[in-house]
Copies of this chain bind each other. A is one copy, B any other.
Amino acid sequence: MNVLIVHAHPEPHSFTAAMKDAAVATLSRAGHSVVVSDLYAQGFNPVASAADFRDRADPDYLVYALEQRHGYETGTLAPDIAAEIDKLKACDLLLLTFPLFWFSVPAILKGWIDRVLISGLTYGGKRFYDRGGLAGKNATLGLTLGARPHMFGADAIHGEIETMLRPLLRGTLYYTGMQVLPPFYGWHVPYVGHAARSQILEDWRRHLLHLEGATPLAFPRLSDFDERLYPKPRGGAG
């Protein structure tokens, strides 16, 4: 398996970085090929802008998604985007490692999503969800957060964590056609000591080694919707 880890944490010696390093070691030892995009270390620019396109379909008015298509077709995307796209296309598993910032990814990682998951390649028109351009690949998350598990759940203060993460899990990763494997949560990380952190790393390594057999999260399939994307009537024989 070719694995692309996209990592985003402002502290190089963070526990999240230790999770990233453990993923590299564990997956490599298991025979996989691992590539890392360490966004802070790369000084990755997260701001989607006109500067992303060396040639413009419309030089006077920027429609970002249309210029992504044009830039990809003509090979004129900014080099930093093109390099990330090459890594993305080569991977079988995309793994995002990050600390949860505002129940979402840090801005530098949101910018990787905005700029690298380009229209035309990863989605377009009715090519999304199970028909997205990255179908056949898997994706998942390894994230750290301050909260404890009991703060998430049907009656919990923040509701279900996978609902809070819906725009990322379903609206981004699955949108591009990737199967989304169960995320791993490093709970309460800022507040726990060495022993608890060691246990989280141990659980993380075991989680990674079982990813290949894991059941993907269940999301809607386009075949349940008609051409205009209205839900098809349920049940009943043809």
| CB interface residues, A 52-106, toward B, < 8 Å | 61-65, 101-106
Q: Could you say how many copies of this chain the assembly holds?
A: 2
- Known contacts A61-B13, A63-B11, A107-B46: A231-B172 contact under CB 8 Å: no
Given contacts A167-B165, A229-B151, contact A107 B104 (CB under 8 A): no
Give A156 to B22 CA distance when docked, in angstroms: 40
Q: Given the interface contacts A102-B113, A104-B110, A113-B102, does A159 sit within 8 Å of B166 by beta carbon? A: yes
Q: Which of B105, B117, B171, B220 contacts A164 (CB 8 A)?
A: B171
| Chain A contact patch, size range | 35 or more
A48 touches B106 (CB 8 A): yes
Q: Which of A63, A111, A150: most chain B Cβ within 10 A?
A: A111
Residue in B10, B49, B63 whose beta carbon sits within 8 Å of that of A40 in the complex: B49
A129 to B230, CA, bound (A): 35
Residues of B within 8 A of A117 (CB): 102
Q: Chain B residues near A198: list those with CB within 8 A.
A: none
A121 shortest CB reach to chain B, Å: 14
Interface residues of A (CB under 8 A from B): 10-11, 13-14, 40, 46-50, 61-65, 101-108, 110-111, 113-114, 117, 129, 148, 150-151, 155-159, 163-168, 170-172, 175, 190, 220, 222, 225, 228-231
